Amino acid sequence: GDKTWQCTSQYKNFSWGPRAEQHPLYPARATELMMECMNTRLLGRVRDQLSLAYNCDIELTMFEGFDAGHFFCKVFTFPQTLREAAAAAVQVLRSPGPLPFTDHEVEASKKVMAWREGRRQREDRSYWLGRLKLQGKLQHGAMDDESHLLESLGADDVQLAWQALGGLDDPTVVLTTSGTPDVAAVLHPHDLPVVQHSDFPEAVLAQEALAPKSSSKMDFLD
């Protein structure tokens, strides 16, 4: 991750643990599975239970060749329930803290991922090209183990992947509308924030400020 993520992870004492050393794809697969579990929670809570949205999901982007990525959550709702739906979505994104992932959630999400990957194998021509590129970057035999990696992941692995996410303590929430000016007028700029920010980001920044600064010197030649 970037400098902010590294600083936050250090503050949290986060580590992927020994499994990341045993298999290079462990962090990526665990994070993908976690995102699938999170999508199930989002739909079940924001759409089905609270009826605040007609669709919502979370998307993850991991950059090839870089130890970094980003995620964002999209919630589609009516203007009158926009703020409530956004607040509920953030609450769900934070929910694994008080309500850790369960084995039932993980096993159900595995089935969804297996079905989706099987469809890609049949319909997406670029799927096998990507697999061949990945084969050249991994050690010999690692691709054989990857088929068993997803199946071996459990609730603890998914919970660990959630802990790797950054930004949930100080999320950036964007409310947008489409339509006539009357639709946008539903949002009042002087309303309270959608979510209350925690003190955690400030604690990280304070720790970073106390760290010794590296000095650099440049000599200019005439």
DSSP letter, residue 193: P
pLDDT at 167 over 80: no
pLDDT digits (tens, 9 = 90+) for 25-70: 888 889 999 999 999 999 999 999 999 999 999 988 877 666 667 8
Between 148 and 64, the more confident residue is: 148
Q: Alpha-carbon distance 69 to 80, whole Å?
A: 33
- CB of 106 closer than 8 Å to CB of 193: no
- What Å distances lie between residue 92 and 7, 42, 128, 150, 168, CA to CA? 24, 6, 35, 24, 10
Mean pLDDT of the 182-209 span: 64
Mean pLDDT of the 63-80 span: 80
Average pLDDT of every residue of the chain: 78
- CB of 131 closer than 8 Å to CB of 117: no
In three-state secondary structure terms, 59 is strand
5-14, 54-63, 93-102, 115-124: which is most confident: 93-102
DSSP letter, residue 136: H
- CB of 142 closer than 8 Å to CB of 24: yes
In three-state secondary structure terms, 86 is helix
pLDDT bucket at 153, cuts 50 / 70 / 90: very high
In three-state secondary structure terms, 73 is strand
Helices and strands in the chain, H and E counts: 10, 2
Q: Alpha-carbon distance 168 to 208, whole Å?
A: 19
- Give the pLDDT score at 218: 40
Q: Alpha-carbon distance 109 to 155, whole Å?
A: 11
- Give the pLDDT score at 44: 95
Report pTM.
0.74
